[in-house]
A and B are shown apart, each in its own frame.
Chain A
Amino acid sequence: MSANTTTKYMNPYLAGFLLGLILLAAFYFTGEGLGASGAFKRYEIAVLEKVAPWLVEGHHFFGSHLKSGESILENRLVYMILGVFAGGFISGVVSGRLTWKVEHSPKISSKTRLIAALAGGMLFGYGSQMGRGCTSGSGLSGMASLSLAGFIALFAIFGTGFLMAYFFRKLWI
């Protein structure tokens, strides 16, 4: 996609400032920051509860968020991620970026990109549970609340990204 078919992106510092205000609002209203991976975990457990209740019941991970008489989907993160999809969609409509595509470096095929995306997603999904939150919940929100955990997450995620970038450069540049 060339530059003249898409509108320009927002200034990154302005976007960061707005995102900071949104994060501040989340803390002011709900006492907690932003998050994404927690919502996916809850959707997944809600499905497992229906299709494989034997797996969920008494399980120290899948079963740990279930409370009797309360749906696992009655949770702010579950609603927040619906908002993220909707907000992203609206921005895509406004900026003219709404299109089906596999974005990849010209040096790799769409198939390679999709295999890498699946593998990366699997790692991120696994790591987000190990690290008790992803870039949003553990990293960004953890940093804003000045928790040590937030800064560890930041260093570990970005540090690994910088260290490993060389080995995966063929995927991107």
Chain B
Amino acid sequence: MGPLTDIGVLNSNWELLIALVIGLAFGYVLESAGFSSSRKLVGNFYGYDFVVWRVFFTAAITAMIGLMYFSYLDWIDLSLIYVNQTFIGSAIAGGVIMGLGFIIGGFCPGTSACAAAIGKIDAIVFLVGVFIGIFLFGLSFPLIEDFFKSGAMGSVFVYDFLGISAGMFVFILVLFAIVSFYFTARIQRKAKPVRY
């Protein structure tokens, strides 16, 4: 029963090797889907290419349904899965800053890595920016530490927050995704095509 490293089946050296292989597959699929092109990624925000929306939502739903089935079949102990802790203020502030970075820079850190790997110079420059941004965050940390640690809610599940069951939440999300795929396809057909 998984997760294999947490229950001691695999030691930490195996974990690093597996992470490398998972990263390899991650990068391959991102590049194959077109995530190495900033103009394709940003098309999501102008309606001419919703590839980000489609890939992102399909991946999230596939993984969450997979985790539920793995748990149901006793293949994985969900209580050992890492659940991101919620810090309400810094999560929103960080997300807003990242959203600005996305629309200005055209990448996120993962996609810039796979774009840099195929020779996109704008992606390499974006990555340099990421390192500078992390450094500036570190320098400013004494000023924002209190805010960064405020609003701690612990590892909260979204379905508990909404007061519904996990199964119901995922079901509603899948319906939402399917409807959104239909409407984004319509928007994309009407949008002025962009060549890139």
Contact = CB atoms under 8 A, between A and B. Distances in A.
B2 to A, nearest CB: 4
Nearest to A35: B110
Contacts of A147: 83-86, 155-158
Interface residues of B, number: 132
Main secondary structure, interface of A, reads helix
Given A13-B58, A61-B137, A34 B26 contact: yes
Interface string A107-149: 0000001101111111111111111111111111111111111
Interface of A: 1-2, 9-10, 12-13, 15-34, 36-37, 40-41, 43-44, 59-62, 74-77, 79-92, 95, 97-105, 113-114, 116-165, 168-169, 171-173
Given A121-B133, A128-B134, A86 B24 contact: yes
28 contacts: A13-B54, A15-B29, A16-B55, A19-B30, A24-B66, A27-B67, A29-B22, A80-B19, A82-B20, A88-B31, A88-B114, A89-B27, A97-B118, A105-B39, A117-B107, A121-B101, A121-B105, A121-B129, A124-B102, A124-B129, A125-B101, A126-B97, A128-B134, A135-B110, A145-B81, A148-B161, A158-B44, A164-B99
Contacts of A62: 138, 141
Contacts, number: 523
Contact of A117 (B23, B114, B125): B125
